[in-house]
Amino acid sequence: MRLVTLSPHDSVLLHESIFQLPAGQHNDFQHYLVRDAGIGADPGAVDRHFAHLGALLAAAQQDPASLPAAADELALLHYAFNDMLDRFNPRQLAFGCLVVEVNGEPWADRSEEGLRRLLTWLSGAGLTEERVADIVATVKKNCQRS
């Protein structure tokens, strides 16, 4: 397990390897990572969907078979834009799935609402987006490579 210190008074304890992380929590972690990779919720994700939509529409000019994929991509662009406006951050929620304890107290509420509440509190306590991205990437790597 890994103890992440956020301030002199605040810390979170996390699972970080396949030998500790329960399968149910890992499945929730993957759920938000799939959502992050497939939709995303930041300006970079919106740009990627615009670029992909443009490429699919250009391909559809040669072969109309690409049009259904372009329609799906348009839906993803719409979701990414909405999630960005709604400040819904799937990568942060993936991080929340790894949390075991907050300031020594067990954290058991892993509903989407519970995770959003947890992340709002952790952000206030000093958790940064960079740190979330770094820890999520490390755990993802641990799970793939081990």
Partner 1 sequence: MRVHFPARYGGAERETQHYYQQQQARTVALADYILTGAPKYLDAVAELDAWLLDQATPEIFDDGAPENVLTLNRRRFGHLCATLADQGFPRPHELTVFDFNAAIDYLAEKNKTA
Question: What minimum distance in Å lies between the beta carbon of 29 and partner 1?
Answer: 10
E strand intervals along 27-121: 99-102, 105-106
Query: Shortest approach of partner 1 to residue 23 CB, angstroms?
Result: 4
In angstroms, rounded to a whole number, what is the distance separating the alpha carbons of residues 141 and 50? Answer: 28
Quote the least distance from Cβ 24 to partner 1, whole Å: 3
- Compute the residue count for the chain: 146
For residue 110, give Cα distances in angstroms to 95, 116, 117.
11, 9, 10
Q: Which residue ranges make up the site for partner 1 (CB under 8 A)?
A: 18-24, 26-27, 30-31, 34-35, 38-39, 52, 55-56, 59, 66, 69, 72-73, 75-76, 79, 143-146
